[in-house]
Amino acid sequence: MTAETFFGAVFTYGPAIIGAASAAAATLPQGKEGSTWYTVRKVIDFAAFNFGNAANAKK
């Protein structure tokens, strides 16, 4: 894989992945700490670039 095809794929699919993760993070509920869903949500928040105060607050 050349650098051109690698960066082409990153710039093509990257924004779509980030957008889908952002939409999922905005609509899905938070999980209780220690549960599997909590871990899944952490991965979704990471993929959506939700760091620090950008993540949903626990209710």
Question: Can you say how many angstroms the Cα of residue 51 is from the centroid of all Cα atoms in its chain?
Answer: 10
Domain contains 36 = yes
In the chain, what is the greatest distance between 2 CA atoms, to the nearest angstrom? 47
Which pLDDT value is given to residue 39?
94
User: What pLDDT score does 59 carry?
Assistant: 59
Within-domain flag for 41? yes
Distance between CA atoms of 31 and 52, rounded to whole angstroms?
17
Indicate whether 7 belongs to any domain.
no
Q: Which domain holds residue 37?
A: 14-51
What whole-number distance in Å separates Cα of residue 30 and Cα of residue 45?
Answer: 10
For the chain, the domain total comes to: 1
In a domain, 57, yes or no: no
Considering the domain boundaries, does residue 58 fall inside one? Answer: no
- Residue-wise pLDDT tens digits, 16-49: 999 999 999 889 988 899 999 999 999 998 999 8
